[in-house]
Amino acid sequence: METTINQEQQTSARPGRGRLILRFLKGSKAFFIICMLCAALSALADMVTPQIIRVTVDHILGAAPAETLSPAVRSLLDAFGGAEVLRDRLWIMALAVVAVAIVKVAAQYGFRVTNVRGGETLVKTMRDTLYRHIERLPFQWHMQHHTGDIIQRCTSDIETTRNFISEQLTSLIRILIMLVMSMVFMLGMNVPLTLIAMLPLPVIVWYSVFFHHKFRKGFEECDENEGKLSAMVQENLTGVRVVRAFGRERYERARFGAQNEYYTSLWVKLGRLMAFFWSSADILSGVQIMLVVVFGVLYCLRGDMTSGEFIAFVSYNGMLVWPVRQLGRMISEMSKAGVGIDRIGYIMDAEEEQDLPGASEPPLDGDIRFEHVSFAYEGCPEMLHDIDLTIPAGSTLGILGGTGSGKSTLMYLLDRLYPLPEGSGRITVGGVDIRNIKLDHLRRNIGIVLQEPFLFSRTLRENLAITSPDLSEEELHSAARTACLEETVAGFSKGYDTFVGERGVTLSGGQKQRAAIARMLTRRTPIMIFDDSLSAVDTETDAKIRSALEKRFGSATIILISHRITTLSKADRVLVLDHGAVAQFGTPKELSAQPGLYRQIEAIQSSVPEDAPAKEVTK
């Protein structure tokens, strides 16, 4: 029952995003601080050049009185011999411009280097934190979300967040510095003209903010649909065999094509909106520049302003308009980043699996008790009804039941892959409620071979030793022998070092099941669960594996889910489940003697040859 994470879900938990960013900034904060200092230095250098030009034009080339200069600039000019001397040595002023340019280049170099270091460190921290968090999220959460969508959040949303911090945030600092400093310099030269220049600015900012709301919505929609597209691709690649086997390529292509077209149309729509914004914002800034030039010329003609001041003023105005326009862009980009951070935040807000306070690590070799257990999957009607049974320690329980009768679910509850809510009964091992057992301890002591075994794209050895990395060669062979996997491995030229899965040897269904059994056997767990794990092996191998298991683990409590009566008949007790309720419970002999599903299946299966595939129970 997978669900797509919708917008409501992702935007519902906004608070705490600042804290989340701070958490991600661990290790990269220092780089970004240096980076911002460099940005400030570079902005300062930008401010100084027009001043050098103004002094050169007005005081060195022109004859403006030195008294109009600030004391600091005057003493600097005097240090070089005063305006008169500098008029003959104009190269000194040119050199000053070059020196400022060098400072700016150095600042920019520092900015780039620290920005890249900070950005990469940030992305690494984000990836690590997210991966670690996702690994600890409950199985239930994983079942409810599309893998493709999660991957998209861990790739492109991380990228958006990095851009926000390493580019937009540092640019914002630079922009603010430039805004404040140009205003200070402009006010110092001509107050009325500065006020005229500032008049249209609020309109420009308001215009940007107005559009930013629209952009934010657009980005949200785009991101959500990118997630859907990724999920579609991921699902199709994983299920490539099904797609081919059913000749669904054309259908899948059409489905992808439709989603892709819709996704593209969203970007085009957003692009059109942005193009409109940028062009119309150009008109606004054009009007602002026009006002400054017209009034500036008038002030010059009236003699209220020198030519040098006018040149510097227009330069500063350029530095003012650019940041204001960038501010608009920043706001829209920030809205995109906001969406990305929210989408990551949605994952980070999901609660990790946690032990209850006081959870213990008791030995798990006692009786297993299901006490009036009822269970419903989230948003679904109840599907396990009042299950009450005891599995004595060291015994073997067989479970038989129709498809969907709740056999696997019962095992998931025992392994706490799904939590059993309070008031829905309890499951105990050796008298201890499994809710009070440390999760890690519980799972380490329950060996489970899932119904659909999954092998990683690694070597067979790595797959088998996944839970015990320091597994000895002898133990590895012994587990493989018990699972009747040795012969299969002997057939591979590289033996246990054969790469399986994608880009490696593809194992057959039965081989995969045996590998999964061997993997479980590498650990000596007091509880072992085989969820229909022998369905794809022939009856003879099934019997061999079971007898090897008996020899190997005399004392373990074994739960065997199977549709095969020959398998179940060796169990100490058999539970027959029917639509989530206990229909029969007893020894195979007892069940064989009473009317019911067990006897029905026994009759069907005893009339077919021994090694024919087990008939599926459908009820």
Ligand X SMILES: Nc1ncnc2c1ncn2[C@@H]1O[C@H](COP(=O)(O)OP(=O)(O)OP(=O)(O)O)[C@@H](O)[C@H]1O
Q: How far is the CB of 399 from ligand X (least distance, A)?
A: 8
Helix axes 90-136, 307-349, angle to 10 degrees: 10
Closest to ligand X by CB, 281 or 410: 410
Q: Which residue lies nearer to ligand X by CB, 407 or 546?
A: 407
Candidate list 56, 182, 405, 567; residue touching ligand X; CB under 6 A: 405
CB 41 within 8 A of CB 103: yes
Is 2 or 352 the residue whose CB approaches ligand X more closely?
2
Measured CA to CA in angstroms, residue 326 lies from 162, 167, 205, 510 at distances of: 19, 12, 10, 62
> Beta 573-578 vs 396-401: how paired, if at all?
parallel
* Nearest-CB residue for Mg ion: 408
Give yes or no for residue 533 binding Mg ion (CB under 5 A): no
> Binding to Mg ion by residue 408, rule CB under 5 A?
yes
Q: How far is the CB of 531 from Mg ion (least distance, A)?
A: 6
Q: In whole angstroms, how close is the CB of 572 to ligand X at the nearest point?
A: 21
Place of tokens 């969203």: 266
Nearer to ligand X, 2 or 540 (CB): 2
Which one of ligand X, Mg ion, none is in contact with 401 (Cβ closer than 5 to 8 A by kind)?
ligand X
- Say if residues 551 and 523 touch (Cβ distance below 8 Å): no
The contacts of residue 8 (CB under 8 Å, 6+ apart) are none
Among 92, 383, 393, 543, binds ligand X (CB under 6 A): 383
CB 545 within 8 A of CB 520: no
Interface with ligand X, residue 582, by CB under 6 A: no
DSSP 360: B
Nearer to ligand X, 387 or 464 (CB): 387
Closest-CA residue to 118 (of 23, 21, 17, 27) = 27
Asked if 296 is part of the footprint of ligand X (rule: CB under 6 A), the reply reads no
Q: How far apart are the first and last CA of the chain?
A: 22
Rank residues 461 and 512 by Cβ distance to Mg ion and give the closer one: 512
Judged by beta carbon distances under 5 to 8 A according to partner kind, the member of ligand X, Mg ion, none in contact with residue 405 is ligand X
User: Looking at beta carbons only, is 341 or 614 nearer to ligand X?
Assistant: 614
Pairing of strands 396-401, 426-429: unpaired
Residue 290 has which token pair?
């026009």
Range in contact with Mg ion (rule: CB under 5 A) among 28-36, 150-158, 406-414, 574-582: 406-414
Closer to Mg ion at the Cβ: 451 or 478? 451
* Paired tokens of 423: 């008031």
Write each residue from 415 to 454 as x if it is in contact with ligand X (CB under 6 A), else as -, in one continuous string: ------------------------------------x---
143 is a site residue for ligand X (CB under 6 A): yes
Q: How far is CA 440 from the centre of its chain?
A: 24
Task: Tell me which of 409, 488, 498, 541 binds ligand X, using CB under 6 A.
Answer: 409
247: left (phi over 0), alpha (psi -120 to 50) or beta: left
Residue choice 146, 407, 564, 573 for contact with ligand X (CB under 6 A)? 407
DSSP, collapsed to helix, strand or coil, labels residue 460 as helix
Q: How far apart are CA 541 and CA 12, in angstroms?
A: 54
Q: Using the minimum distance from each CB to ligand X, give the nearer residue, 358 or 381.
A: 381
Q: Does 490 bind ligand X (CB under 6 A)?
A: no
Please list, in sequence order, all residues whose beta carbon lies within 8 angstroms of the beta carbon of residue 465, skipping any fewer than 6 positions away: 471, 476, 522
Minimum CB distance to ligand X smaller for 220 or for 531: 531
Among 362, 404, 501, 504, binds ligand X (CB under 6 A): 404
Find which of Mg ion, ligand X, none residue 190 binds, CB within 5 to 8 Å per kind. Answer: none
Q: How far apart are CA 390 and CA 392, in angstroms?
A: 6
- The reply on whether position 513 binds ligand X by CB under 6 A is no
390 makes contact with Mg ion (CB under 5 A): no
Per CB under 6 A, 408 contacts ligand X: yes
For the sheet with 527-531, list strands across it.
446-449, 527-531, 557-561, 396-401, 573-578, 581-586
- Cα separation, 37 vs 30, in Å, equals 11
In the complex, minimum distance from the CB of residue 265 to ligand X, in angstroms, rounded to a whole number: 34
42 part of the interface to ligand X, by CB under 6 A = no
Residue type, 443: R
Residues in contact with Mg ion by CB under 5 A are 408, 451
Residues in contact with ligand X by CB under 6 A are 1, 143, 377, 380, 383, 401, 403-409, 451, 532
